[in-house]
Amino acid sequence: MVKEQMSTTVETCRDMLKTEEAIFFIKDFFGKKLAANLNLVNVSAPIAVLDGTGINDDLNGVEKPVSFSVKGVKDQNAVIVQSLAKWKRIRLKEYNIEAGRGLLTDMRAIRPSEELSPIHSVYVDQWDWEKRISPSQRNLDFMKKTVKAIYQALRATEMALFKRHPEFVPFLPENIYFIHAEELLRQFPDLTPKQREYEISKIFGAVFIIGIGATLSNGEPHDGRAPDYDDWSSTNEDGYKGLNGDIIVWNPVLEKGFELSSMGIRVNEEAMERQLLIQGCTERRKLLFHRMLLNHELPLSIGGGVGQSRVCMLFLRKKHIGEVQSSIWPESVRNNGGSLRLL
């Protein structure tokens, strides 16, 4: 009995080590491919920023970041980043990045308001990127070209992993399908947003849902978005609202739609004014980031994040995000952890 337990433990350790090696390979390969496809340069990223500047993101508009005081900094707390959408845009200005080129960061964040689940953790790791664009590129066609470039990097990573580990047979479709959230609602009017994502991703394998954050014909948005980074309110060439969206793929292990990326063309002055008014938070105009944007001091950009643990979880056929990252989980999850990286 003891020998059997020892053998099982050794085998589990070997599997975990193999997983770690595969995780490193995926992160390294995709990061390089994404940078090449979008013409990005790698830069270092902060783990915290000063509070009260408007630089940190509140994602759906309600999440509260971790706040702490810093010795030597008076009258102002620091907050752990939740994403770097606004910080990256300021960096584009500070580095004087030209149009057509951008930044890529290895972002680490803490989101304490996250509802823990097999696909959600308080610890967030993602490839966070931002690219400067020209006024003529603030359109749906340019966004779709960017989405296709990201998707091509995903498929290339999947194929590279297969060549290295033949047990992971590629399953992503050749092309990604585009649909607006309003079209998706009309196609499945009696379903919830997550149920719509389930149906459309099961049909096409990989989809980009456009217009996340805008109110749809049923009076509700497909999902929430803060008002001050993605442009979800401008009318696009198809006559719908929004120049942003989410990449959703069908996860064959979990048998559900699986979000890999949230991204979009960022707000210009008009879009941010409109979205601040829609969400009733015009007081943000006084914050540093918002003042810079409204004063025409920041470049136009497109940007987003691609979840590192999400991509690893998908390609390595894992059922729980804790199998590909270390995080904090309740006792009920820890007791059934198996190969989870648990603290």
Domains: count for the chain: 1
Catalytic residue selected from 82, 83, 121, 126: 126
**Which residue bears the tokens 């948005």?**
221
- Quote the Cα angle for 153-236-262, to 5°: 35
Dump pLDDT digits (tens) for 12-30.
445 778 889 999 999 999 9
Residue 287 lies in a domain: yes
What secondary structure letter does DSSP report for 250? E
What beta strand segments (E) does the chain contain?
40-42, 48-50, 67-68, 78-80, 102-110, 123-132, 177-180, 206-210, 244-251, 256-265, 301-307, 326-327, 341-342
The per-residue pLDDT for 214 is 95
For 15, the enclosing helix (H) or strand (E) is: helix 2-38
DSSP 60-129: TTT----EE--TT-TT--EEE-S--HHHHHHHHHHTTPPTT-EEEEEEEEE-TT---BTTB-SEEEEEEE
The per-residue pLDDT for 334 is 67
Catalytic residue selected from 262, 301, 308, 309: 262
Catalytic residue selected from 58, 82, 83, 111: 111
Range of the domain at 106: 15-49+83-342
The per-residue pLDDT for 110 is 83
**pLDDT tens track of the chain, all 343 residues?**
433 433 434 444 457 788 899 999 999 999 999 999 999 999 998 888 888 777 776 655 456 778 888 887 877 888 888 778 889 999 999 999 999 999 999 998 888 878 888 898 988 899 999 999 999 999 999 999 999 999 999 999 999 999 999 999 999 999 999 999 999 999 999 999 999 999 999 999 999 999 999 999 999 999 999 999 999 999 999 999 999 999 999 999 999 999 999 999 999 999 999 999 999 999 999 999 999 999 999 999 999 999 999 999 999 999 999 899 888 888 777 666 555 554 3
Q: How far apart are CA 70 and CA 103, in angstroms?
A: 28
Residues 6+ apart with CB under 8 A from 283: none
The 3-state DSSP class for residue 36 equals: helix
Catalytic residue selected from 57, 182, 197, 323: 57
Residue 242 lies in a domain: yes
Pair 148, 124: CB distance under 8 Å: no
Residues composing the chain: 343
Q: How far apart are CA 22 and CA 316, in angstroms?
A: 8
The per-residue pLDDT for 63 is 61
111 catalytic residue (yes or no)? yes
Sheet strand arrangement including 206-210? 40-42, 102-110, 123-132, 301-307, 256-265, 244-251, 206-210, 177-180
Q: Classify each residue of 223-233 as buried b or exposed e, where b means 16 or more C-beta atoms within 10 Å of its C-beta.
A: bebbbbbbbbb
Whole-model pTM over 0.85: yes
Domain CATH code at residue 174: 3.30.930.10
Residue 71 lies in a domain: no
Q: Nearest Cα to 212, choosing from 166, 265, 168? A: 265
238 catalytic residue (yes or no)? no
User: Token pair for residue 262?
Assistant: 């949230």
Dump pLDDT digits (tens) for 228-281.
999 999 999 999 999 999 999 999 999 999 999 999 999 999 999 999 999 999
Catalytic residue selected from 259, 261, 327, 341: 259
Residue 69 lies in a domain: no
Q: Nearest Cα to 211, choosing from 196, 226, 227, 233? A: 233
- Quote the Cα angle for 46-51-53, to 5°: 90
For helices 140-164 and 2-38, give the axis angle rounded to 10 degrees.
Answer: 140
Phi-psi sector, 234: left (phi>0), alpha (psi -120 to 50), beta:
beta
The per-residue pLDDT for 68 is 83
Q: How far apart are CA 136 and CA 215, in angstroms?
A: 26
Catalytic residue selected from 246, 261, 327, 341: 246
The per-residue pLDDT for 3 is 39
Residue 1 lies in a domain: no
* CB atoms inside a 10 Å sphere around CB 74: 7
Phi-psi sector, 100: left (phi>0), alpha (psi -120 to 50), beta:
left
